[in-house]
Structure 1
Amino acid sequence: MLGKLNEKQIEDLLKKQVTGRLGCHADGITYVVPINYFYRDPYIFAHSAKGRKIDMMRKNPKVCFQVDDIQSVFKWQSVIAWGKYEEITDFDEKQQAMQGLIHRIMPLVDKPAEHPHHAIAEKESEIDTKIEVIVYKITLSKKSGRFENS
């Protein structure tokens, strides 16, 4: 059976997952990339080093975000959401967002010390400070969800 997710199911899936795909578009190019995130309605919080994704979102902050839970070819849920990219520059908000990411991601990391380039490590001294970490949020304005359960 194919169907639409209701609002609660959409919220639950966004909260449950930790990796989604971010779609951005600028200068005639569309770019879709996986990101680690955490969700607190209506925001997707994430971080990144400077690169293509950040450059594109700075040019065009309108983005699309997709997350799914695929148990089999005929048993899955998927949410697509649209929103606006915004870099977090306020120190306190940036700290809170990074703490949220750390709390969400760390339980899923086998060896945190091996990932200092993500600005996530067991000890702050292990974080690679040569890389500028850009913390951002996507303010979601529209969400849609579908499922198949055969």
Structure 2
Amino acid sequence: MLRELNDYQIDTLLKDQLVGRIGCHAAGVTYIVPVNYLYDGTDIYCHSAKGMKIEMMRENPLVYFEVDNIKEITNWESVIAWGKFEEITEMEEKQKVLQKLTDRITPYIMDDSITREHGFVDKEGDIGTTVELIIYKIVVSKKTGRFENR
């Protein structure tokens, strides 16, 4: 039987997972793509190189974000959040967000060359000097969650 997650369970799932999916729509095209992210209890923070996702979100900033934890076909949790894409352009904020993303994700990456390939840096000051990244947040306006556990 499907049930609803409460607010605490929704926030816990968003905070615990490392990969979610952003859904965006522009010019008649819908695009869904996995991303590394950080949820601070209010907003979802991500990084990206320039590309289709960023172009679409700049054109239409209304997006959705989905994350799940699937243990088996009848034992899973899923959250969908709706929100607005906001690019972070102030360098100090970009540095702080990227460092938080780096701290969150790198313990799960075994090979240092992969962190650099994905744009993660060693120090906050490296952003904007050695790596060109787009740092952005999704300002969440609505969240819902479901689960099944048989």
Answer whether contact 1:21 1:35 (CA < 8 A) is retained. Answer: yes
Residue 54 of structure 1 is matched in structure 2 by 54
Q: Where in structure 1 do 4 or more consecutive aligned residues deviate above 2 Å?
A: 121-124, 129-132
Equivalent-residue separation in structure 2 for 1:113 and 1:52 (angstroms): 25
Residue 45 of structure 1 is matched in structure 2 by 45
How many residue pairs align between the two structures?
Answer: 150
Instruction: Give the gaps of 5 or more residues in structure 2.
Output: none
Answer whether contact 1:112 1:120 (CA < 8 A) is retained. Answer: no
Query: CA offset at residue 96 of structure 1?
Result: 1.2
Going from structure 1 to structure 2, the CA distance change for 1:130 and 1:123 (only over 3 Å counts) comes to closer
Instruction: Give the gaps of 5 or more residues in structure 1.
Output: none
Query: CA offset at residue 2 of structure 1?
Result: 1.5
Equivalent-residue separation in structure 2 for 1:123 and 1:46 (angstroms): 17
Q: Does 1:35 align with 2:22?
A: no
TM-score (norm 2): 0.92
Answer whether contact 2:26 2:56 (CA < 8 A) is retained. Answer: yes
Going from structure 1 to structure 2, the CA distance change for 1:62 and 1:37 (only over 3 Å counts) comes to same
Residue 117 of structure 1 is matched in structure 2 by 117
Amino acid paired to 2:98: M
Identity, % of aligned positions? 54
Instruction: Report the secondary structure of 2:80's partner residue.
Output: strand
Equivalent-residue separation in structure 2 for 1:10 and 1:90 (angstroms): 30
Residue 25 of structure 1 is matched in structure 2 by 25
Answer whether contact 2:45 2:138 (CA < 8 A) is retained. Answer: yes
C-alpha RMSD of matched pairs (Å): 2.1
Equivalent-residue separation in structure 1 for 2:84 and 2:104 (angstroms): 22
Going from structure 1 to structure 2, the CA distance change for 1:95 and 1:131 (only over 3 Å counts) comes to closer
Residue 108 of structure 1 is matched in structure 2 by 108
Instruction: Report the secondary structure of 1:135's partner residue.
Output: strand
